[in-house]
Amino acid sequence: MSASEYKHILRIAGKDIEGGKKLIVALSEVKGVGYNFAQVITQSLNINPDKRVGFLTDGELREIEQAITNPANAGIPQWYSNRRKNMDTGSTQHLITSDLDFAASNDIDREKLVMSWRGYRHMFGLRVRGQRTRTTGRKGGAVGVKKVKAMPGAAPGAPGAAAPAAAGAAAPAAAGAKPAAGAAPAAGAAKPAAAPAGGAKPAPAKEPAKK
């Protein structure tokens, strides 16, 4: 094939693929087609898996798409299909792209509807296939303990409130204590009134004159 017939981008089963990729790698990019399934397709159609996708002819592309949608016609065993013995029709199919997502969502909804154990696990977002959950899958909900810092002006029972209370209690006690003998009065303190000389009693206060 000449360089003029080379396709830079082509579409296989609804997927845009670069023409410079190998065929087996390009087929693996289609949702629902794995590496092993792509290798079986190339062997059954007798196409070189290392061939660049851009050099494929229109006939080869058509055969590849038919083999992906209907593997039985291409001579591929049924156990390679991803939808064996469908519950609704009983047929064996191979689903790709959006059909695969739609079938998977329908299966999950049916499990939830019949209230099976798998449906319960799907509803609560837990592991379904028997994996351990003790150390893995720890997403959502409360994990661990969150420490809260004490805010200023917190209640007395809150942490950090004991220190201000102790400091406030020490101040009144110091204010009511008697000064030691010979100690100088504190600055700004009121001086006591002088006692009358000779032990005389102070004169009683005069009552106001009645009118």
What are 116-162's pLDDT values in tens digits?
A: 999 999 999 999 999 999 988 887 766 566 778 877 776 655 555 44
Domain spanning 3-80: CATH 2.140.10.30: no
Tell me the C-alpha distance between 75 and 46, whole Å: 12
DSSP 3-state of 17: strand
Give the global pTM.
0.58
The answer to whether the beta carbons of residues 97 and 16 sit under 8 Å apart is no
Taking the domains of the chain in order of start, what are their residue ranges? Answer: 3-80, 96-129
Number of H helices, E strands in the chain: 6, 2
Question: pLDDT digits over 157-183, tens only?
Answer: 555 544 555 445 444 544 455 555 555
Radius of gyration of the chain from Cα atoms? Answer: 46
